[in-house]
Amino acid sequence: MRINSLEVQNFRCFEHKKLNFSPQFNVLIGNNGRGKTAILDALAVGMGSLLLGFDGIGTRSIREEEVRHVYRQSGQITELIPQHPAIVHCVGNINDSNSISWERRLNKTHGKTTRQDAKNIIQYGEQLQKKVRDGEPVVLPLLSYYSTARLWLQKKDKVELVKPGSPTSGYVDCLETASNEKMLMGWIKTMEIEALQRQALLQVLEGLRDSVKNCLEGCESVYFSVQLDGLIATFANGQTLPAYMLSDGQRTILTMVADIAYRAAVLNSHLGEKAVLETPGIVLIDEIDLHLHPEWQRTIVEQLRISFPKIQFIATTHSPIIIQSLRPGEVINLNNEDIGDYYNKGVEDILEWVMGVANSPQSERRLKMVEVAREYYRLLAKETAPEELGRLKARLDELAAPYSDNIAYHAFLQMKREVAGLGDDDNASR
């Protein structure tokens, strides 16, 4: 399952907005108040429509406070008027089928979110539910939303074992902003005990471990200690720590990645060790850079991409380093500006040209490059006697040498040099 486009009307800050999404990774950027989180909330409503076809699974409706309101002056009275209907319209693909569309509305105050225009996706959910009930092998799409409140493991509670349940239990609380950490920890504990009793590896549990190791930098192992009644992580530097003692960034990634892998394993346990790699679906992440060091921000997108190759991620960020790590077509700018080419560009360029931060401070290296270019131009424009040409060329080589790693900059200087008639065979070959 994936969403190709979203169109909203009278939802949160948007009178009307339409966005298109790439199949695997999408990152929303924009100034505060532009509606990045609102888009994630609308997507949760849209993708949650599938859950209407399942028994006993809560879903996500349009809430009254999510209806756009406008101020109107009537005499000396200012009124805040809700603008109905609030509409969430999605176009997407399910099970590699042809594109389908569905819509949900909230038409009036104290009304219920409609479902009649979402019958096709609800019916597909009902078909999946029937196959699960009949014991037929079926791949269930993963759906999950990780808000900025996802920093879990704040409280050390006793972890209870979980009883075997339906695969659809992997949808429980999947769209709630306050995610259910107890279910995750209970499942891991139960699997660890089961593996000990069988004296054999459980492939679904090993898939979770592999995902965490891929995404949690320096992690060599993660396991549930029955004795300490908690999740333990070991690292390449020799540290072994309970999860609640990790840094905020480590805990955020550990529990989010483990939760995605856990849900994939529960939904599609019949896939065994391939459950994590073969489960499709949609994951929403608000502020993907939350609590992460810049070095980790540079790699987290690729780590998630590799760990969950069939998941469509839609995230938000304020980090130029996250943007720097994305591929072309994966940034959605809610400032309504054409951001051009950003892939692997310098952080200063992204701050200024992509994120609109005017007059952003520049690094010493960049300032030095500007200074070198000015000196380079001055020397090229200088009338030089033939006997001085050798010395001038040597000086130009000396100025350009420290920046030979910047191919575009070095080529630019070389072009200026050749236009001035001061190129030579040696420099042209470098």
pLDDT tens digits, one per residue of 292-331: 988 898 899 999 999 999 999 999 998 888 888 888 889 9
Domain with CATH 3.40.50.300 in the chain: 2-176+271-354
Least confident of 84-93, 148-157, 220-229, 323-332: 148-157
Rounded CA gap, 375 and 158, in Å? 68
- Going by pLDDT thresholds of 50, 70 and 90, the confidence category of residue 373 is low
Please report where in the chains the tokens 């219920």 appear, as a residue: 112
At residue 427, the pLDDT reads 42
Residue 417 carries which side chain, given as an amino acid letter?
R
At residue 364, the pLDDT reads 57
At residue 206, the pLDDT reads 94
CATH superfamily for domain 2-176+271-354: P-loop containing nucleotide triphosphate hydrolases (3.40.50.300)
- Going by pLDDT thresholds of 50, 70 and 90, the confidence category of residue 426 is very low
Residue 5 carries which side chain, given as an amino acid letter?
S
Give the number of other CB atoms < 10 A from CB of residue 343. Answer: 13
Q: Flag whether pLDDT at 425 surpasses 50.
A: no
Q: Flag whether pLDDT at 282 surpasses 70.
A: yes
Q: Are residues 250 and 234 in contact, defined by beta-carbon separation less than 8 angstroms?
A: no
Q: What percent of the chain has pLDDT over 90?
A: 58
* Residue 356 Ramachandran class (φ > 0 left, ψ -120 to 50 alpha, else beta): left
Q: How is residue 339 annotated by DSSP?
A: -
Give the helix, strand, coil percentages of the chain, each rounded to 5.
45, 20, 35
- Going by pLDDT thresholds of 50, 70 and 90, the confidence category of residue 428 is very low
At residue 198, the pLDDT reads 92
Rounded CA gap, 169 and 176, in Å? 14
At residue 261, the pLDDT reads 96
pTM, full prediction? 0.81
Q: Which residues contact 89 (CB under 8 A, 6 or more apart)?
A: 6, 7, 8, 9, 46, 101, 102, 103
Can you tell me the mean pLDDT for 349-359? 58
Strand partners, 235: 219
Least confident of 37-41, 60-64, 86-90, 347-351: 347-351
- Going by pLDDT thresholds of 50, 70 and 90, the confidence category of residue 150 is confident
Interval 102-121: pLDDT, tens: 999 999 999 999 999 999 99
Q: Are residues 81 and 69 in contact, defined by beta-carbon separation less than 8 angstroms?
A: yes
At residue 430, the pLDDT reads 41
Give the number of other CB atoms < 10 A from CB of residue 214. Answer: 18
Average pLDDT value for the chain:
86
Can you tell me the mean pLDDT for 54-73? 93
Least confident of 79-93, 130-144, 169-183, 389-403: 389-403
Query: Tokens standing for 142?
Result: 């993963």
Specify the long-range contacts of residues 381-387, CB closer than 8 Å, at least 24 apart: 381/420
Can you tell me the mean pLDDT for 245-258? 92
Q: Flag whether pLDDT at 61 surpasses 70.
A: yes
Interval 227-243: pLDDT, tens: 889 999 999 999 999 98
Residue 146 in 3-state DSSP?
Answer: strand
Give the residue among 347, 339, 285, 349 at the shortest CA–CA distance from 311: 285
